[in-house]
Amino acid sequence: MNMNRQIGKWLGLVLIGAALFASGCARQPHGTGDHSATRGSGARSNSHKSTRQTESHEEHKHDAASQQSLVATLYLETSPVSTISGEVTEIRGMLHDTTGQMLNDFEVVHAKKIHLILVRDGLDEFAHLHPSLDVNGTFTVSHTFAKGGTHHVFVDHKPVGKSQATAKGTLTVGGESPDPEPLKPNVPGRAQDGDVLADVSMQLSGASSIVRFALLESSGIPITDLQSYLGARGHLVVIGARAEQYVHAHPLESKRASNVVEFEVHFPEAGVYKLWGQFQRNGEVHTIPAVAEFGREANKH
Ligand SMILES: [Cu+2]
């Protein structure tokens, strides 16, 4: 199909749109992953409208915030078009590069070509999904939103031969949309998902921070049977309070105890962030949320 017609079709159908990307200070030290997107420019669409303001910027591994380059535009649509909480929604997306060419060739990063993160505005709902990808580059995933309201969509991807990037959009979901609880920092401290507990702590390490999860049984005994999840001992997604900052970090090689997983995170700026550590045991993924405040004085660079 002719590209313009295809775009037209998408624009006609869609919802969505949104904003930004860039990473000012993503770093990838010592081979650990830290995929950041920062600086939301805030172009947010209402439902049933589309916008082309959604952008994706590649990451600059060793660079400061002064550099960013637009690399892709994210288009999203849903079926049904009017998404409502509690009902299965099919989310479809595609990325176009700056010339308007649809991206369809992605490298596998952590076992998947596309990592799609959904968070509700206020960060009280989180999903980490892996859409299927067709030959044209359209990616598709089903999801049931637990609550209505604005949901932020982060598409973490690496076009073949290019830098890893994160594209962001928003989806407006109908249905009950209760006010989220205000974010209350609880790091250092105890967090949990069901019967899996974690002592979460954070310490500065140069321009980055080491975020540590010490995983415990509900009895307080260290967990010793962590399994690899998507090729790593754990994954950490970090999103700024206003959902304008996104970091996806992978574990550091560590000689610490087997229940301790450490992530190197470059917080893009001072502020409150929500963290979701994801770990697998017994074939089940546990998602452990925590809230951390990254200090202003610690962010000098
Ligand atoms: Cu993923």
CA of 148 to the centre of ligand 1 (A): 23
The CB density around residue 40, as the number of other CB atoms within 10 Å, is: 20
CA of 5 to the centre of ligand 1 (A): 31
Q: What does the mean pLDDT of the chain come to?
A: 80
Cα radius of gyration (the chain): 19
Contact residues for 127 (Cβ-Cβ < 8 A; gap 6+): 117, 118, 119, 143
Element at 10 (helix H, strand E):
helix 3-13
CA of 130 to the centre of ligand 1 (A): 6
Cβ distance 127 to 117 under 8 Å?
A: yes
Task: Provide the pLDDT for residue 98.
Answer: 85
217 three-class SS = strand
Element at 73 (helix H, strand E):
strand 70-79
Task: Provide the pLDDT for residue 56.
Answer: 54
Lowest mean pLDDT, pick from 14-28, 117-131, 154-168: 14-28
Task: Provide the pLDDT for residue 257.
Answer: 77
Q: Which amino acid belongs to residue 141?
A: V
CA of 155 to the centre of ligand 1 (A): 9
β-bridge mates for residue 253, sequence order: none
List the structure tokens of 173. Answer: 């979901």
Reported as a single tens digit per residue, the pLDDT across 46-78 is 333 333 335 554 443 333 332 345 678 999 999
Name the phi and psi angles at 57, rounded to 5: -115, 145
Is the per-residue pLDDT at 91 higher than 60? yes
Q: Which domains does the chain have, with CATH numbers?
A: 3-173 (2.60.40.1930), 189-294 (2.60.40.1930)
CA of 93 to the centre of ligand 1 (A): 16
Over range 141-153, report the average pLDDT. 98
Full DSSP string of 134-145? -TTS-EEEEEE-
CA of 110 to the centre of ligand 1 (A): 7
> Residues with beta carbon < 5 A to ion ligand 1?
115
Reported as a single tens digit per residue, the pLDDT across 191-218 is 999 999 999 999 999 889 999 999 999 9
CA of 115 to the centre of ligand 1 (A): 4
Task: Provide the pLDDT for residue 296.
Answer: 57
β-bridge mates for residue 77, sequence order: 92
Reported as a single tens digit per residue, the pLDDT across 170-181 is 999 999 999 999
Q: How confident is the model at residue 159 (pLDDT cuts 50, 70, 90)?
A: very high
Task: Provide the pLDDT for residue 70.
Answer: 62
Reported as a single tens digit per residue, the pLDDT across 20-48 is 333 333 333 333 345 444 333 322 333 33
Task: Provide the pLDDT for residue 92.
Answer: 98
Reported as a single tens digit per residue, the pLDDT across 239-288 is 999 999 999 998 988 767 789 999 999 999 999 999 999 999 999 999 99
